[in-house]
Structure 1
């Protein structure tokens, strides 16, 4: 014969309210101790500046002993660190960096004690240095073609590369404020330039900045990061603008061409960063 089936019996146990209240308080306190405590203030915790030449400050001068990375004393990361005195400051952004360089040689600076991370990245992945060379040495049609090629890359391949970087940042510093800084328009169209690139080339280059902004802001938003749209913060200060220009035209050394100068680092990047961090 089979065993008699077990019949479940529901038992209700009543605890005094004082006991329940005490248990709830203990549970909440324990959860907070495990990891729900508020993160350190960005202005007092560790600050890590990641990224490429737009973050290192290439084009703004005063590079000290940073070598080919060209980390400028006039760059927005250094200006923010000077003004806010974080508990520690790791300035690892480097001229020429792509997403792979951030993952291979920069991301280790981000730790669990990090309160603020800033980054500009993606332009070199999409080949915009080559875009500018092509537009300065080739026809309108070839410049437009090269920009379209870069834009296609930005739409299709760059999102996955940004995801890899942003995932690592969030994993290493789950409570840090992360600010992603975009790229400005290089040119003010129909502006005050005589000679140089044609308006067709300038428009194609600016369109590439628009595509980058759309892709980068979209991925940053998906991770809950703050995005600073440099097209807006540099507005009126591009090459060919009537106002004070914050972006170098063709200059020497050549790698500093089409990069923010010291005024651009301060007005276009540092000031808006100070407003959000």
Structure 2
């Protein structure tokens, strides 16, 4: 039994990961910003809440003091921790470079990149103090590998997450702490709702594997990397995408995830409960 934390744990890949961990017998602390999603999570796993195997905390992952309190609170409740899965993200700024507001760019990086850094930092502090080693998994994206696989700010932020795992994996290895990245492809989640409307032909044009990606596909990779038996694997990247990264070219254009196709710009806040701020982009943009 491991004691693990999952950010963005109340929906999508995070929810599937929490479910898999509970099924494995782990104790799980789920962090999410959306109170309605957290309430639904507690209701779904009411037995696990009642017996102390699931605890929750509401926090913005970009807010260091709140995250430090949440991570420390789980450690107190569980008698320590064995790792964290930094999954929380937002779609972030969309639209062409010339229409991207700097505040939207910064807000994207605050959640997608700084949020991962904060999660790694405070989990690592506890794990080092415990002297027990542990497993940290950061959720990247194929958008961090392929330039046309997602909105520009999101793609660059996820590329930073991928390299962060390599850098911190090297730093934390002497403490027995493994740090790895899992890169999802096109997964049917609330942050990527258009994927549910894909047809088999759409997938065939860009994804070799002939079915839609589901949150549990990614969760299985996370479960593998949070198993204490796999800690010798560190500073590595596992891509869960049905072969898309192996094919690569023009993914976003083929699959409709390239926001330049849709004539809009603005900010996508994902499943945080905050409404998207999307507007028609400048007519001069290509």
Structure-1-length-normalised TM-score: 0.48
Structure ID, larger Rg? 1
Q: Greater strand share, 1 or 2? A: 2
Structure-2-length-normalised TM-score: 0.47
